[in-house]
Amino acid sequence: MSIPAALMTGPTVLEPVVGKTDEMIVNLGPQHPATHGVLQIVLGVDGERVTRAVPHIGFLHRNHEKIEESRSYAQVIPYLDRMDYVSGLQNELPYCLAVEDLAGLEVPERAKYIRTAMFEFNRIISHLVWVGTYMLDLGAITPFLYAFRDREMALDIIERTTGGRMLPNYFTFGGVRRDVHPKFWQDLLDFLDYFEKVVPEYETLTVDAPVFQARSVGVGLLSQELAVNHGISGPNLRASGVAHDLRKDQPYDAYPELDFSVITRDEGDVWARSKVRMDEIYQSIDLIRQCAELAPRSGPYLARGRVKIEAGEQRYRAAEISRGQLGVYIHSDGGTGPYRSKHRSPSFVNLQIIPDLFIGQKFSDVIAILGSIDIVLGEVDR
């Protein structure tokens, strides 16, 4: 099969516009310290001001969706970890939910709480990575090292529970793959007791810091309308004043039993997005505590059953991962694996907004805005 000529165009080459001043075309990436992976943005800059921005993706494309068509349902899960490698556990959940729906598996109560706690725990880890790398983008090196210190402790708990650190392959249809160890809940609570005292430190270094506020307040304004029109989700959307959170709107696992409210802010700027993430760290701490309190300490961790899905069955399930709405669409042809598996990854959708936000901004602000959207290229390209 030959590839259509229309698809064979190379990367866009922008011609500099010569006007009052000469436009300079700058390739931001794919090898650049602040693009968080292999994202390329071709920028037209007039001095320090950005006139055009064309994002290029695909440098990390690994063909996950096509590979998943030739795998059995259970074999797909390790691939999911590798999409958003910063929050591997969270990626597994929507796929598991969809397969559970199709196969009619009922998740035991205990597994629900374990999954919810781990889901929120991974949100803390993901937001820690965001705090660190984002402050690195803004030129502050220390928060990065503090964040990774705490992330390391958190990853130790994930490792002790699941066997993997970033790619755990832990959630499965009907529950979790292995039972948690006896000290699991105590581990989590001990960590949270420590971590709760450290988060104000991060706030001091980020959202409360005057220089950070100077760099972030009023920068990269994302209006409510623009956000909704582009399908932005996650903290980016909630920072623009839309109270959309799938944990509340389409609750899954143990979320219906937990007491929490959707965090929103109305400013819609870089600072608001940062503040929402900071508040979400507190929220996750609270949610894990609630899980630890409510979770049954004994009982099955896995509803064992055959995954048999009739031909023509299809299901879309989504979950609110750290970056927004991660959806999985599965279409079955009655075989052992999905006939078609489609991922709606939040970073990919959130990335669409960058030309709108970049144009007219300073070069330094471009980095600040890109970091505040919090993309993971593994998930953008899949």
For residue 333, what are the β-bridge partners? 311
Let me know: does 164 contact 82? Beta carbons within 8 Å.
no
**Residues of this chain, 204-223, that bind another protein according to CB under 8 A:** 205, 209, 211-212, 214-215
Work out whether 187 is an interface residue with another protein (CB under 8 A): yes
| Inter-CA distances, 98 with 10, 103, 314, 330, Å | 37, 9, 9, 7
Q: Which residue lies nearer to another protein by CB, 133 or 264?
A: 133
* Binding residues for another protein, total number by CB under 8 A: 43
By CB under 8 A, the residues from 132 to 151 that bind another protein are 135-142, 145-146, 149
Q: Which is nearer to another protein, 25 or 226 (CB)?
A: 25
292 binds another protein (CB under 8 A): no
**Residue 37 beta carbon to another protein: minimum distance, rounded to whole angstroms:** 14
Q: Token digits for 149? A: 């210190």
183 binds another protein (CB under 8 A): yes
Q: Residue type at 356?
A: D
Both structure tokens of 368: 């600040």
Q: How far is the CB of 341 from another protein (least distance, A)?
A: 36
Contacts 24+ apart (CB under 8 A), 27-36: 28/366, 29/56, 30/56, 30/59, 34/137, 34/367, 34/370, 34/371, 35/370, 35/377, 36/133, 36/370, 36/371, 36/375, 36/376, 36/377
Q: Is residue 119 within 8 Å of 90, Cβ to Cβ?
A: yes
Least Cβ distance, residue 110 to another protein (angstroms):
21
Q: Say which DSSP state 18 is in.
A: B
| Site for another protein contains 117 (CB under 8 A) | no
Interacting span for another protein (CB under 8 A) from 284-292, 305-313, 336-344, 361-369: 361-369
Rule CB under 8 A: which of 326-355 touch another protein? none
CB of 187 to another protein, least distance (A): 5
Q: How far is the CB of 184 from another protein (least distance, A)?
A: 10
Q: How far is the CB of 18 from another protein (least distance, A)?
A: 16
Selected range binding another protein among 122-130, 156-164, 296-304, 346-354, rule: CB under 8 A = 156-164
Paired strand residues for 344 = 327
Binding residue (CB under 8 A) for another protein from 14, 16, 26, 109: 26
Nearer to another protein, 144 or 301 (CB): 144
156 sits near another protein (criterion: CB under 8 A): yes
Task: Kindly tell me which residue out of 197, 259, 298, 360 binds another protein, with binding defined by CB under 8 A.
Answer: 197
Point out which span in 1-9, 58-66, 187-195, 295-303 binds another protein (CB under 8 A).
Answer: 187-195
**In this complex, which beta carbon is closest to another protein, that of residue 47 or of residue 299?**
47
- 200 is a site residue for another protein (CB under 8 A): no
Q: What is the torsion angle, in degrees rounded to the nearest 10, for the CA atoms of residue 57, residue 64, residue 379 and residue 304? A: 170
Q: Considering only CA atoms, which of 158, 157, 160, 136 is closest in space to residue 147? A: 136
Helix (H) or strand (E) holding 212: helix 210-216
Alpha-carbon distance of 81 to 88, in angstroms, equals 4
Closest CA to 192 of 102, 286, 114, 108: 286
Binding residues among 31-70 for another protein as defined by CB under 8 A: 32-34, 45, 47-48
Distance CA 324, CA 352 (A): 14
- What is the Cα–Cα distance from 318 to 246, expressed in whole angstroms? 8
* Rounded-to-integer distance, Cα 205 and Cα 140, Å: 9
Closest approach, Cβ 137 to another protein, in A, equals: 5
CB-based contacts of 285: which residues, under 8 Å, 6+ apart? Answer: 124, 192, 195, 196, 199
Residues that bind another protein (CB under 8 A): 24-26, 32-34, 45, 47-48, 135-142, 145-146, 149, 153, 156-157, 160, 183, 186-187, 190-191, 193-194, 197, 205, 209, 211-212, 214-215, 362-365, 367
